[in-house]
């Protein structure tokens, strides 16, 4: 029985899974992560829109652009770090429809 968890365990498991995947499966995994990142970006934007605006720093287009870019990068990082599990669910549902051979 395994009682300790290490972040490296997850990395090693993902590396082994990647070695066993065909090209189509790797592409599906990538697209699943990109979709999850897009979903997370939309969610972050919706969450940000609930925060009242402040005139402390002025009304700036640059600030809006920065926040949009920040949300995009945070969403990508979140998705690559495991995210909310949407990419895994999509992959498991769709892997049956892709070729298992290279």
Phi, psi values for residue 25, rounded to 5°: -70, -40
Residue 13 falls within a domain, yes or no?
Answer: no
Specify if 9 maps to a domain. no
Tell whether the model's pLDDT for residue 34 goes beyond 90.
yes
Count of structural domains, the chain: 1
Q: In the prediction, which pLDDT does 19 show?
A: 64
With 70 as the cut, is the pLDDT of residue 16 above it? Answer: no
* Distance separating alpha carbons of residues 56 and 53, to the nearest angstrom: 9
Is 6 inside a domain boundary? no
The reply to whether 28 falls in a domain is yes
CA angle 85–49–86, rounded 5-degree value? 10
Residue 63 lies in a domain: yes
Number of alpha carbons in the 13 Å side-chain half-sphere of residue 25: 15
- Give the whole-angstrom CA distance, residue 65 versus residue 71: 10
Residue 102 within any structural domain of the chain: no
Domain carrying residue 34 = 22-49+59-97
Q: How confident is the model at residue 4 (pLDDT cuts 50, 70, 90)?
A: low
pLDDT of residue 84: 93
Question: Is residue 17 in a domain?
Answer: no
């Amino acid at each position: 029985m395994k009682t300790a968890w290490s972040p490296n365990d997850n990395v090693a498991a993902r590396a082994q899974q990647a070695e066993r995947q065909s090209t189509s499966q790797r592409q599906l995994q990538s697209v699943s992560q990109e979709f999850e990142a897009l979903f997370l970006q939309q969610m972050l934007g919706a969450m940000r829109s609930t925060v009242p605006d402040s005139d402390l720093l002025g009304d700036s287009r640059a600030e809006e652009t920065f926040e949009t870019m920040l949300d995009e990068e945070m969403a990508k990082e979140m998705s690559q770090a495991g995210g909310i599990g949407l990419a895994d669910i999509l992959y498991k549902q769709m892997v049956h429809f892709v070729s298992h051979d290279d």
